[in-house]
């Protein structure tokens, strides 16, 4: 849904409104109607009693007076009143017979009004604390360009927001050097970021609210739809391309890359026109020429290359691989659409647009390439759109994305004044695009507003064009006077530390830049170089110590590892030796047992043989007597005697056999003793130390 809202910054309540926008959002995904609804609830609750009929014109008037929000149309109020009646149940609808519809106040609305009034009071308190703190900061910095009052500081703050692209109404710029004012505010932001978290969060609330206020007229999560930019081509301006390539300051590079990732995450197509690509190449060529001729009046600076001391050959390599690197980060280079005879109605007044841009924008070279390229880009987007009035942001075919708030504002205003009807402008600021995506899905990067605020603050600390010009003039004059050598002057002209130190010492005021200030900055620069060298020496020594510590640790680790391996090897050897000893002892014991068994077996055979012979010697005569007796027919008395002798002999044989079979008999003990003696002799022959344990084992068996 399209809602146009502009802040009237002559009304100090507009600052409170920006802080309230952030409180209303509070990390929730809400649509543009819900951003305005709390303000409507508040003014209705303050103006009307219960059952009073609401007058839209009075509501619009109160919103402008109490919150500085203008251009809120009556139909928007109707939408909000309907939502309050249905969702909040705080209004009751009444229809007349002629079809007119009005709304009456219910008691519930007063409760809602009290809650919003509480948010307003909190926001007011935060802003007052912030303004008072900033005033004391400026007084402490001895800034005396004008009388420092709360009203003046508030105007400074508004001026800072305007510089970041806030579209305001009826605000007269402060007749002072804007860069100097913003330098102090940026310095203050960085100060409270480190020293006072509460004040920093207050400033962040205002900044976040201001970012939200800029995009209310876009479809911010309207009707709960998920943003899908797959049908939209975003054509990136040259400076943003430098950031996405990471050739600017670290914080700017980070935020540009964050925008790139946000757009890709939502399906958007990133492109750049070929004329912007050629401008990109010319910037790199200009930087290369500055390296070749450092005293050229057209000094080009790219922070990443300055910090890394790149060479001319390095820049040549960057230029040769430029398009390839853009492709790697998903940015394609395309030609601008052609001018077709049958589509003349899609061509804008390019000459008039150029004159408008040059008149209202501070180009470094009004006759140079930049204004021509901006005209080509805006005109190309117009030809791509083909006068199509899209009802939804995601249906717009193309946008030109820039971080130049003046370019976006002036270019879109020219298109509107040319009676070309577009719901959404041809040019969009990068911060607006990032805010739209962030509001639709804050989980993408919840710290986006904080990063953007820090980026803006740090950008104000970089040397301004006015201060740089005076600085370069003084350096050249001092070189001619012999105070600096050519080499010193070359280094000073290009060094970022020196440039920013001049900006710091001059407090951003180009009129304060003189030879004395530069000599002071030079001394600080030399001290910094000495400190850097000293720190490098300390770091080198520290690195040496760390290297030695690392080497000692490495040797200690190696020694521990070797000891561990040695212990493991010893353990393995001990295990192997123990195993070998056990196996050897077992073999000796087995051999000794075999020897014992052999001796015992031999003795058993020998004894059995002797007994057998004895038995035979005893039985043979008896058998002979019996046979003789039977053949000779001897008397019966003699037969009885022979029979008795035979029985006695047989009984003696049986007794002898039984005796031999008994293991506890004398003969068996004799055999065992012989076997044990043979066992001991065998053990003693191979391993005497094993004898005691072997005998114990034998006893245990017995």
Q: Could you read off the pLDDT of 371-394 as tens digits, one per residue?
A: 899 999 999 999 898 877 777 888
CB 442 within 8 Å of CB 27: yes
Q: Classify residue 663: in a domain, yes or no.
A: yes
CB 363 within 8 Å of CB 355: no
Q: Mean pLDDT of all residues in the chain?
A: 81
Q: Within a 10 A sphere around the Cβ of 160, how many other Cβ atoms?
A: 26
Same structural domain, 184 and 250: no
Report the distance separating Cα 586 and Cα 460, nearest Å.
91
Q: Classify residue 458: in a domain, yes or no.
A: no
Q: Classify residue 452: in a domain, yes or no.
A: no
pLDDT at 217: 65
**More confident: 572 or 423:** 572
Task: Count CA within 13 A, CB hemisphere, residue 477.
Answer: 12
> Last residue of a domain, which of 473, 488, 513?
513
Produce one character per residue of 36-52: b if its CB has 16 or more CB atoms within 10 Å, e if not: bbbbbbbbbbebbeeee
> Last residue of a domain, which of 193, 218, 239?
193
Same structural domain, 129 and 157: yes
pLDDT at 586: 79
Between β-strands 398-402 and 233-236, what pairing exists: parallel, antiparallel or unpaired?
Answer: parallel
Q: Classify residue 295: in a domain, yes or no.
A: yes
The per-residue pLDDT for range 174-184, each reduced to its tens digit, is: 444 556 788 88
* Residues 304-320, mean pLDDT to the nearest whole number: 90
* Residues 456-478, mean pLDDT to the nearest whole number: 88
Q: Closest Cα partner for 52 from 115, 97, 117, 102? A: 102
Where in the sequence is the domain holding 588, given as residue range(s)? 520-701
Q: Classify residue 341: in a domain, yes or no.
A: yes
**Confidence at 320, pLDDT banded by 50, 70, 90:** very high
* Residues 289-306, mean pLDDT to the nearest whole number: 77
**More confident: 388 or 226:** 388
**Confidence at 4, pLDDT banded by 50, 70, 90:** low
pLDDT at 174: 40
> Last residue of a domain, which of 479, 513, 547?
513
pLDDT at 71: 74
The per-residue pLDDT for range 611-648, each reduced to its tens digit, is: 778 777 776 776 776 677 666 665 555 566 666 766 76
pLDDT at 348: 85
Tokens matching residue 516: 């004395």
Least confident of 136-145, 425-434, 494-503: 136-145
The per-residue pLDDT for range 100-124, each reduced to its tens digit, is: 788 888 888 888 888 888 888 888 8
Least confident of 293-297, 335-339, 353-357, 676-680: 293-297
Same structural domain, 481 and 419: no
Q: Classify residue 113: in a domain, yes or no.
A: yes
Same structural domain, 389 and 246: yes
Same structural domain, 175 and 284: no
* Residues 590-614, mean pLDDT to the nearest whole number: 81
- H-run or E-run covering 153: helix 150-163
Q: Classify residue 218: in a domain, yes or no.
A: no
**Confidence at 167, pLDDT banded by 50, 70, 90:** very low
Q: Classify residue 652: in a domain, yes or no.
A: yes
Same structural domain, 483 and 579: no
**Confidence at 570, pLDDT banded by 50, 70, 90:** confident
The per-residue pLDDT for range 50-71, each reduced to its tens digit, is: 888 999 899 989 888 888 887 7
Same structural domain, 364 and 402: yes
Same structural domain, 470 and 555: no
pLDDT at 494: 80
Cα Rg, the chain, nearest whole Å: 52
Same structural domain, 525 and 502: no
Same structural domain, 409 and 274: yes
Same structural domain, 477 and 602: no
Report the distance separating Cα 585 and Cα 694, nearest Å.
9
Same structural domain, 236 and 254: yes
- Find the CATH number of the domain harbouring 348: 3.40.50.1010
**Confidence at 190, pLDDT banded by 50, 70, 90:** very high
Q: Which of 537-546, 652-661, 665-674 has the highest mean pLDDT?
A: 665-674
**More confident: 595 or 142:** 595
Tell the residue number behind the tokens 């976040």, with chain if given.
Answer: 208
Percent of the chain predicted with pLDDT > 90: 20
The per-residue pLDDT for range 417-437, each reduced to its tens digit, is: 877 777 788 999 998 899 888
Reduced to 3 states (helix: H, G, I; strand: E, B; else coil), residue 680 is helix
Domain tally, the chain: 4
**Confidence at 253, pLDDT banded by 50, 70, 90:** very high
Q: Closest Cα partner for 10 from 145, 173, 120, 119? A: 173
Q: How far are the Cα atoms of 58, 124, 358 from residue 63, in angstroms, in the given order?
A: 9, 16, 36
């Amino acid at each position: 849904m399209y809602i146009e809202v502009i802040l009237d910054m002559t009304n100090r309540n507009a600052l409170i409104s920006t802080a309230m926008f952030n409180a209303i959002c509070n990390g929730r995904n809400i649509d543009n109607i819900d951003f305005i609804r709390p303000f409507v609830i508040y003014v209705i609750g303050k103006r009307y009693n219960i059952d009073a009929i609401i007058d839209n014109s009075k509501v619009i008037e109160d919103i402008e007076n109490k919150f500085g929000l203008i251009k809120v149309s009556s139909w928007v109020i109707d939408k909000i009143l309907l939502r309050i009646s249905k969702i909040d149940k705080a209004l009751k609808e009444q229809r007349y017979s002629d079809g007119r519809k009005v709304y009456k106040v219910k008691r519930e609305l007063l409760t809602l009004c009290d809650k919003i009034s509480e948010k307003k009071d909190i926001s007011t308190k935060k802003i007052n604390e912030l303004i008072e703190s900033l005033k004391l900061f400026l007084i402490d910095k001895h800034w005396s360009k004008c009388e420092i009052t709360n009203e003046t500081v508030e105007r400074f703050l508004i001026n800072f927001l305007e510089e970041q692209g806030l579209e305001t109404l009826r605000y007269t710029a402060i007749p002072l050097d804007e860069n100097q004012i913003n330098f102090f505010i940026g310095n203050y932001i960085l100060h409270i970021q480190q020293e006072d978290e509460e004040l920093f969060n207050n400033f962040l609330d205002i900044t976040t609210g201001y970012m939200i206020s800029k995009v209310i007229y876009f479809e911010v999560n309207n009707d709960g739809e998920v943003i899908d930019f797959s049908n939209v081509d975003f054509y990136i301006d040259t400076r943003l391309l430098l950031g996405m390539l990471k050739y600017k300051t670290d914080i700017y590079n980070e935020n540009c890359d964050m925008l790139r990732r946000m757009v890709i995450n939502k399906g958007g197509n990133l492109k750049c026109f070929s004329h912007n690509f050629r401008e990109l190449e010319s910037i790199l060529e200009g930087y290369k020429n500055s390296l070749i001729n450092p005293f050229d009046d057209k000094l080009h600076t790219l922070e990443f290359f300055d910090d890394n001391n790149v060479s001319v050959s390095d820049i040549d390599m960057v230029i040769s691989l430029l398009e390839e690197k853009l492709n790697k980060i998903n940015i394609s280079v395309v030609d601008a659409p052609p001018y077709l005879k049958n589509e003349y109605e899609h061509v804008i007044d390019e000459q008039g647009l150029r004159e408008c841009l040059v008149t209202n924008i501070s180009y470094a070279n009004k006759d140079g390439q930049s204004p021509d390229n901006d005209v080509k880009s805006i005109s190309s987007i117009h030809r791509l759109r083909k006068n199509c009035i899209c009802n939804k942001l995601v249906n717009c075919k193309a946008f030109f994305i820039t971080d130049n708030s003046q370019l976006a504002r002036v270019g879109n205003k020219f298109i509107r004044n040319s009676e070309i009807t577009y719901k959404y402008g041809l040019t969009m600021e990068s911060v607006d695009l990032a805010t739209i995506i962030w509001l639709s899905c804050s989980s993408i990067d919840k710290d986006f507003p904080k990063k953007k605020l820090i980026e803006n603050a740090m950008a104000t600390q970089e040397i301004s064009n006015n201060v740089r010009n005076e600085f370069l003039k003084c350096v050249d004059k001092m070189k001619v006077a012999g105070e600096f050598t050519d080499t010193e002057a070359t280094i000073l002209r290009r060094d970022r530390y020196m440039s920013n130190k001049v900006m710091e010492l001059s407090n951003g005021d180009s009129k304060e830049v003189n030879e004395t200030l530069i000599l002071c900055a030079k001394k600080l620069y030399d001290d910094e170089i000495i400190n850097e060298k000293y720190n490098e020496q300390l770091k080198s020594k520290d690195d040496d110590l760390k290297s030695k510590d690392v080497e000692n640790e490495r040797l200690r680790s190696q020694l521990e590892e070797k000891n561990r391996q040695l212990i493991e090897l010893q353990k393995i050897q001990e295990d192997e030796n123990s195993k070998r000893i056990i196996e050897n002892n077992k073999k000796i014991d087995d051999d000794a047992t075999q020897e014992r068994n052999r001796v015992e077996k031999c003795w058993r055979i020998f004894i059995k043989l002797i007994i057998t012979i004895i038995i035979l010697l005893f039985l043979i005569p008896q058998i002979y007597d019996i046979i003789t007796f039977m053949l000779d027919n001897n008397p019966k008395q003699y037969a009885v005697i022979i029979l008795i002798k035979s029985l006695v002999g047989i009984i003696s044989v049986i007794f002898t056999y039984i005796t031999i079979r008994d293991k506890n008999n004398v003969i068996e003990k004799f055999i065992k003793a012989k076997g044990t003696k043979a066992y001991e002799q065998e053990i003693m022959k191979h391993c005497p130390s094993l004898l005691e344990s072997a005998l114990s084992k034998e006893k245990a068996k017995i």
